[in-house]
Structure 1
């Protein structure tokens, strides 16, 4: 139980820090991340990338999504699986994609199986996170969606490269990991790029 309380305490502290960022800071960090990501060799070679729409003070992915589209990449967004609770699907996203608000109050594409891409066909999977440490351990919101998504693809050469995107203020000394936590292969912040 103590580990669970520690994890929730970290979530609360880091969410306060990222919500305290000013709109000008958010804009600057979003542009910096976009520039950093677009020069990543794996991103430059990638054709199909999944990313998230920012929520609750997360790093604004808007400029990066625009840059990916401009570079001719196919962009996909996560959608809550309608029949398998706790799992994600990935749907193609463009300027004409009909959007809905899911039960977690996050915008996502309206379910359309013709726009669905199996995870194994993704080249890159950008993940949100609440906090991270210098071992690649990520702490999410607690739903386990990305841990379940990455469970079968973690460090496999035939799966997507998982890259976390975060503000620098989201780094903590250590995350008390649970057995189901899947560490990330890379994390990019406005000032650093970690690889494991």
Structure 2
């Protein structure tokens, strides 16, 4: 029952964000970058992981450009080739060779020389499909980010996870599962939510 509700919310939210016009998406991307620039965590970061948007996700390119301009080393997730359901993070620059993964999402071509240990990241900006007023996040359903963030959820060391979403992806209450990792911070173009 709960999985059916989560599936329905995913469909609704994906449709909601895909229905945004190109102008709305571009404006939201710029506003997101401005909101993130206010984050104390980003002002002190040296290494951050972002993602390239797909399927109507909030475009992170302006934020990536900001990081490049401020000498913040930027990394993107790559689906782990041997550890199913896990992510690696690899350096991303304007010259990075890109390929499409199994989900038809662009990611850097895997090169062991550019991989960073996850615990060495300062921030992992995390995509999501929906979030609620208590900081619960609903992802695409593959569990990649939940598995990646689990070791650091209760720790004082390791990367800080910051969720990124359009404001229209907010709902009052999400059905959550034991493996869901709640966010302490979620940034939308309109607000910075903290718990």
Fold match by TM threshold 0.5:
yes
Residue 99 (structure 1) aligns with: 98
> Is residue 10 from structure 1 mapped to residue 39 from structure 2 by the alignment?
no
What's the C-alpha RMSD, in Å, of the aligned pairs?
A: 0.6
Query: Is the CA contact (8 Å cut-off) linking 1:123 and 1:160 kept in structure 2?
Result: yes
Structure 2 portions without partners, runs of 5+: none
Residue 82 (structure 1) aligns with: 81
- Please report how far the alpha carbon of residue 155 of structure 1 lies from its aligned counterpart in structure 2 after TM superposition: 3.8
- Number of aligned residue pairs: give it: 195
Q: After the TM superposition, list the runs of 4 or more consecutive aligned residues in structure 1 that deviate by more than 2 angstroms.
A: none
**Deviation digits for residues 122-162 of structure 1, max 9, x if unmatched?**
00000000000011100001000000000110142111110
**Deviation digits for residues 49-68 of structure 1, max 9, x if unmatched?**
00000000000001110011
Query: Is the CA contact (8 Å cut-off) linking 2:35 and 2:191 kept in structure 1?
Result: no
In structure 1, how many angstroms separate the alpha carbons of the residues matched to 2:124 and 2:184? 11
In structure 2, how many angstroms separate the alpha carbons of the residues matched to 1:153 and 1:66? 27
In structure 2, how many angstroms separate the alpha carbons of the residues matched to 1:67 and 1:91? 18
In structure 2, how many angstroms separate the alpha carbons of the residues matched to 1:155 and 1:78? 22
Query: Is the CA contact (8 Å cut-off) linking 1:14 and 1:131 kept in structure 2?
Result: yes
Query: Is the CA contact (8 Å cut-off) linking 1:131 and 1:172 kept in structure 2?
Result: yes
Query: For 2:31, what is the secondary structure of its paired residue?
Result: helix
Residue 29 (structure 2) aligns with: 30
Residue 163 (structure 2) aligns with: 164
Normalising by structure 1, report the TM-score: 0.98
In structure 1, how many angstroms separate the alpha carbons of the residues matched to 2:176 and 2:32? 26
Structure 1 portions without partners, runs of 5+: none
Query: Is the CA contact (8 Å cut-off) linking 2:89 and 2:117 kept in structure 1?
Result: yes
Query: For 1:97, what is the secondary structure of its paired residue?
Result: coil
In structure 2, how many angstroms separate the alpha carbons of the residues matched to 1:88 and 1:176? 25
Alignment of 1:122-141 (within 5 A): 122-141=121-140
Normalising by structure 2, report the TM-score: 0.99
